[in-house]
Amino acid sequence: MGKAVLNTNNTVWREWPFTFALPASEFSDSSDELIVVQGIIDMLIQTPRGLVVIDFKTDNVTAEQAGQQAGLYREQLGLYSRAASAILKEKVLGKWLHFLTPGCAIEIK
């Protein structure tokens, strides 16, 4: 991730705010309403090939616990990636959680 941030061919945004509308039918039987999702992506890297979404976490976990903890954030990163992709019209190459306490990164597939 560090190399991607420092690569001058990439554009890096920190604390990238977004607003994104999703069909409510994805979450319930209501088919004609929209759900508005707002958030701030901690770091978004636009490379010539696509986007990398990075979210920093301050959870007090060990490196061994980080993988299990990452599962709690899978849906959040999915929504962040979907919004960034739709807004910037780019595909998402990767979604990452960086846990600050143990200093480790987990890729979300």
What's the pLDDT at 24? 84
pTM of the predicted protein model: 0.88
Q: 48: which residues sit within 8 A by CB, 6+ positions away?
A: 9, 10
Better-scored residue on pLDDT, 24 or 41: 41
pLDDT at 52 over 80: yes
In a domain? residue 94 = yes
Average model confidence (pLDDT) across the chain: 93
Token output for 75: 């849906």
**Domain count along the chain:** 1
In a domain? residue 27 = no
Can you give the CATH number for the domain in which 54 is found? 3.90.320.10
Helix (H) or strand (E) holding 21: strand 11-23
